[in-house]
Amino acid sequence: MLVAGNWKMNLDLAAARQLTSGVVSAIGDPSPVDVAICPPFVDLDATFSILHGSGIRMGAQNMHASESGAFTGEISAAMLRAVGCHYVILGHSERRQIFGETNAGVSEKTIQARKYRLVPIVCVGESLDERNAGDHESVVESQVRESLEGVAIEASSELVLAYEPVWAIGTGQTASGDQVEEMHGHIRDIVEDLFGKEIGVGIAILYGGSVNPGNAQDLFSREDVNGGLIGGASLNAEKFAAIVAAAKSVQ
């Protein structure tokens, strides 16, 4: 089980320090659940110092696919590694929709992230129109296959997927347990096909989209749901800790 908090573009340095300290004390010992927080780039260094020794890991929300060079405003995998990131979220639907990221671009980033031993959290998910048209399984299948094109892993722990239906993100409208279970089963089949059964069966597939302390336990107890990617609720230490406790209760 992995519970990761995606802070998105929230919290300045002082607020990030405060929330990180709050998360560390509210969660205590995270084991046996893997827990991570993913603050904005400028908060990473300070966050890492506070997380030190807590057992809680850190991730970034994006990165550039190139090594270094003339890419004004961008951040490389090596830079993320150097400030202590373990994970990096790639291909979040907000990046795809607002910033025009493509599956091919996500695959380049995923390959680069692995080169620096970052664990990519590759996000996929259909829009409401796609679900209403009955295309959700094929849309997500293309996203998974194309976003992971050329990606090689040697162990399940080297890659995480997150299913985040766009219509459930920040809307309070969580996907039902049955919808989540069905899609996660589909994604499991695809990763087993891509990486072989032995590795595919162990890849964590997170659900994201309006997870809160009230619905986390039901979602996490579903087949092929190996944790959550938490947006809004991760900005509150008590709520985030309650979601981690829900993961512990079903681990």
Residues that bind ligand 13P (CB under 6 A): 6, 92, 164, 169-170, 208-211, 229-233
- The least distance separating ligand 13P from the CB of residue 23, rounded to whole angstroms, comes to 15
User: By C-beta, is 189 or 218 nearer to ligand 13P?
Assistant: 218
Q: Per the residue annotation, which of 64, 92, 136, 184 is the catalytic one? A: 92
* Minimum separation from the CB atom of position 49 to ligand 13P (A): 24
Are the CB atoms for 226 and 246 separated by under 8 Å? no
| Catalytic annotation present for 64 | no
In the bound state with ligand 13P, the residue whose beta carbon lies nearer, of 47 and 210, is 210
Q: Are the C-beta atoms of 57 and 89 separated by less than 8 Å?
A: no
CB of 94 to ligand 13P, least distance (A): 7
Comparing CB distances to ligand 13P, the nearer of 200 and 231 is 231
Closest residue to ligand 13P in the complex (CB): 231
Residue 3 vs 199, nearer CB to ligand 13P: 3
State yes or no: is 92 an active-site residue. Answer: yes
Q: How far is the CB of 197 from ligand 13P (least distance, A)?
A: 28
Give me the active site residues, please: 92, 164
